[in-house]
């Protein structure tokens, strides 16, 4: 069912990721020009992520007709596998942003409804700057998910990927100018107009803009979900490095300055937790050689710095699913920091997450939560 007007007008808002989920959605990788060795390694890690999440909440994995049987064979039986066409498997960006209506939760009236926003998508930058030239199947992913779940759909013509926004569930949204103000997304919209659309569709009151995302995150033009996220209202995790010679250092300090001066929609000063990046990590000759570079996807070259970040984790119902990159120093530190930031959650590290980064994203990028119908606000304290 297509909805008229904006979600906020109907009382909907995007809940924080730590609020209860009814399930998690994922795609299944197969593009040989983006996933090395015919996605063999990536599929193994996607299956590990899906399996880890399924211990905390239901998971649905969508696979193409050609890959359905393969996906089904690699995933445990408690994970639903459905057939769906797609150009690639980044469901954070091509799936719907699912919103809830809490207005009747406090009144004891009819149970709140859940709906989805179907944003426009242009392969992270269009024909000239995007990651692949044909994204026609990706444009249908959000609509198919909402149809499968029989959820109302709010279509939007504005180009926006889910990885470019983070919300705290209490009226504040984090994003980056590098992505949302990029001329390859919505050149006809001003910063003020984009803010108004975010407020009208996400139900937020305040946008905190960071100038840039993670160094090397050129595929997405600096998505916020590699750089910074909320761990609870008033608290953010920030990708960090202590190495002043690393190009990431300037970006992290820049973000720290802005976040230190910012207040959220409720007037709180932000507490900032530094989450050190791994590496730096680079694509190897062997990894690059495993790609079909004759495809239509953006070339991935040996020696390219990987946009690896521990901020790109997924919050499940009681679990934190976080990447591990084989970095003996920083992998364990990330688990320690996240365990402190989420003391009531089980932190689960996914080994070989590098395989996802090689394709241009990480665990948060390949997952999309479906919020549960709320009975009351989720509490972290």
Average pLDDT, the chain: 95
Catalytic residues: 365
What is the side-by-side order of every strand in the sheet holding 206-210?
166-167, 172-176, 206-210
The pLDDT confidence band at residue 104, using thresholds 50, 70 and 90, is low
Per-domain boundaries in the chain: 7-371
CB 24 within 8 A of CB 369: yes
- Give 324-366 pLDDT, tens digit per residue: 999 999 999 999 999 999 999 999 999 999 999 999 999 999 9
CA angle (90, 79, 346) in 5-degree steps: 80
Record the pTM: 0.96
Predicted pLDDT at 107: 43
CB 24 within 8 A of CB 367: yes
Assigned CATH class of 7-371: alpha beta
């Amino acid at each position: 069912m297509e909805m008229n007007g904006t979600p906020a007008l109907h009382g909907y808002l995007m809940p924080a990721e730590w609020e209860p989920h009814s399930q998690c959605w994922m795609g299944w990788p197969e593009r040989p020009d983006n996933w090395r060795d015919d996605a063999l390694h990536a599929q193994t890690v996607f299956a590990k992520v899906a399996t880890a999440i399924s211990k905390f909440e239901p998971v649905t994995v969508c696979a193409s007709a050609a890959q359905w049987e393969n996906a089904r064979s690699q995933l445990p039986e408690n994970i639903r596998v459905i057939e769906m066409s797609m150009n690639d498997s980044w469901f954070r960006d091509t799936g719907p942003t699912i919103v809830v209506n809490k207005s009747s939760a406090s009144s004891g009236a009819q149970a709140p409804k859940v709906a989805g926003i179907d944003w426009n998508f242009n392969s992270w930058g269009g024909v000239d700057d995007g990651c692949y030239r044909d994204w026609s199947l990706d444009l249908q992913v959000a609509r198919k998910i909402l149809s499968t779940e029989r959820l109302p759909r709010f279509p939007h013509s504005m180009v926006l990927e889910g990885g470019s926004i983070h919300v705290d569930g209490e009226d504040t949204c984090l994003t980056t100018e590098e992505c949302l103000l990029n001329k390859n997304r919505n050149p006809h919209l001003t910063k003020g107009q984009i803010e108004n659309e975010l407020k009208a569709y996400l139900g937020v009151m305040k946008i905190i803009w960071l100038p840039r995302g993670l160094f090397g995150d050129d595929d997405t033009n600096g998505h916020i979900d590699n750089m910074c996220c909320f761990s609870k209202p008033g608290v953010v995790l920030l990708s960090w490095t202590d190495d002043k010679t690393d190009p990431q250092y300037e970006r992290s300090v820049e973000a720290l300055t802005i976040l230190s001066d910012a207040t959220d929609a409720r007037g709180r000063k932000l507490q900032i937790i530094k989450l050190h990046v791994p590496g730096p990590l680079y694509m190897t000759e062997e990894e690059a050689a495993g790609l079909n570079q004759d495809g239509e996807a953006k070339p991935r070259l040996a020696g390219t710095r990987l946009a690896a970040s521990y901020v790109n984790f997924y919050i499940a119902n009681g679990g934190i699913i976080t990447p591990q990159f084989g970095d003996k120093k920083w992998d364990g530190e990330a688990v320690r920091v996240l365990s402190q930031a989420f003391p009531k959650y089980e932190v689960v590290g996914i080994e070989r997450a590098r395989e996802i980064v090689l394709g241009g994203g990480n665990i948060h990028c390949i997952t999309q939560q479906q919020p549960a119908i709320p009975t009351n606000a989720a509490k972290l304290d």
